[in-house]
């Protein structure tokens, strides 16, 4: 069961990817985690990625695809995996398909968690992060016991810059421009499945498991 999660930033696809991984006993693979693991372990691919990241440059598509294919080829992914945050663009999706085909593999499902922009802006502007332990909360959906204070460590909560409405709008416009076309791409392949991401988290998960069986 090889799954790609699609959805705008803040649509909750990361949360759902973790739940899928847990239920089906397959790894949840995010590109950020792959980068960190390879850099930490000092692999050849990790060293290459680090040179770009140290310059604040984007890691080239070919290198990202190499890292992802290397990761999905590992023992724990033999029964499947959930890819979260990749691919982000059509060239990445094409490169991934090509690389997987070379090892006689392919993606089974692309699941799009559909949430309107205005919901995402409201949702993200309600998020709060602890400055000390990094714990995340939401003033409406997951509030702390004491307003502005982290339940876990008592640290101060802040609205992160990347959760501010103007930043979220920018991130959404980049998403619509670059990543939205993936929905058509996977739709043409016949593997796209859409779920309503505006409902309760458990309902979203139930809709996904109904698709996956």
160 is catalytic: yes
CA dist 170 and 155 (Å) reads 29
Residue tagged active-site, from 18, 48, 88, 193: 88
Q: Is residue 163 a contact partner of residue 124, using CB atoms and an 8 Å limit? A: yes
Residue tagged active-site, from 18, 164, 171, 193: 171
CA dist 47 and 136 (Å) reads 31
Q: Of 19, 9, 208, which Cα lies nearest the Cα of 121? A: 9
Residue tagged active-site, from 19, 71, 127, 128: 127
Residue with tokens 């699609």: 6
Q: Is residue 144 a contact partner of residue 151, using CB atoms and an 8 Å limit? A: yes
Q: Is residue 11 a contact partner of residue 115, using CB atoms and an 8 Å limit? A: yes
DSSP state of 137: E
Residue tagged active-site, from 13, 19, 71, 123: 13
DSSP codes of every residue in 72-133: HTSGGGTT-EEEES---SHHHHHHHHHHHHHTT----EEEEEE--HHHHHHHHHTEEEETTT
128 is catalytic: no
171 is catalytic: yes
Residues forming the active site: 13, 88, 127, 160, 171
């Amino acid at each position: 069961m090889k799954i790609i999660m699609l959805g705008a930033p803040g649509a909750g696809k990361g949360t759902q990817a973790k739940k899928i991984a847990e239920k089906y006993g397959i790894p949840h693979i995010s590109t950020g985690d792959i980068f960190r693991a390879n850099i930490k372990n000092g692999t050849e691919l990790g060293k290459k990625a680090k040179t770009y990241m140290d310059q604040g440059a984007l890691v080239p598509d070919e290198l990202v695809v190499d890292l992802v294919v290397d990761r999905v080829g590992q023992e724990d992914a033999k029964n499947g995996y959930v890819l979260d945050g990749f691919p982000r663009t059509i060239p990445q999706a094409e490169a991934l398909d090509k690389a997987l085909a070379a090892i006689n593999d392919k993606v089974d499902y692309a699941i799009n968690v559909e949430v309107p922009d205005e919901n995402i802006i409201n949702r993200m502007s309600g998020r709060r992060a602890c400055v000390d332990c990094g714990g995340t909360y939401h003033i409406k959906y997951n509030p702390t016991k004491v307003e502005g204070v982290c339940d876990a460590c008592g640290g101060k909560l802040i609205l992160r810059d990347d959760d501010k409405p103007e930043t979220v709008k920018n991130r959404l416009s980049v998403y619509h421009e670059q990543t939205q076309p993936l929905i058509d791409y996977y739709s043409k392949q016949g593997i796209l499945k859409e779920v309503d991401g505006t409902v309760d988290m458990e309902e979203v998960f139930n809709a996904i498991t109904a698709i996956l069986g």
